Structure 1
């Protein structure tokens, strides 16, 4: 994990251990806490690279998109959206002992083909509004106003059946 940068939320019984392991792997570690009085211990005793106060908007904004992942050790209810903003694209948030939140990557060619085959077999099709070419400007205006149910399909050759 050298070269990676992770955040650890909470510096209690579990959080301080969540700092020690990645530090030994050569990972850059930032502690994210509500308690400013833990900063000195985190830096001097545990060797963290940086410390953020989670309720300080300036600190949180400055750290946006800097973390490869976050280990959240806090058991109390707290907002996770600010934590998500700290992570780079494709970052991972691990909430220890909590419900799992998972993301999904776009599938590769094999997965996409499997999905298309399944859709064809089960007649799963998108709902669309077919519009003629001379309606393109009106369609764009409707898109800007979010006045389209799902998708427009532009019928350039006037060959598609309208439903």
Structure 2
């Protein structure tokens, strides 16, 4: 007896169910992948913020320049710049509600490393002492930026805590 087109056999129902389950599994896999990517982006953004890094780089660069330009330490030029990096990172840590230690450390390393590299351009271009000097400058800038942001955030937390 011929079947009507609106009636289903067991095989066609099973095939439709299998296709539906496969589609649901693919959709769930895509949602899991997209939610994993979103969670990873959110975590990375909560650990290291590129926007705050750029602000820190500008602020610490200005601090490095101001320290070298206005603090009269003729023998220790880089120390005056590191005081400027520390002050800039301290101000950033005091102003921003979340921890900015990682961003300030990276920005301090870039600012101090570039200043040491460009300040001793002749050693960098013609001698072997330029690269270790830049690495030392980046290391001290990293330390000054991290300490400044830490102490600024610590002061902010102390000022805003309930007594």
TM-score between both structures, scaled by the size of structure 1: 0.21
Bigger relative contact order, structure 1 or 2 (CA pairs below 8 A, ≥6 apart):
2
Larger radius of gyration: 2
More strand by proportion, 1 or 2?
A: 1
More helix by proportion, 1 or 2?
A: 2
TM-score between both structures, scaled by the size of structure 2: 0.21
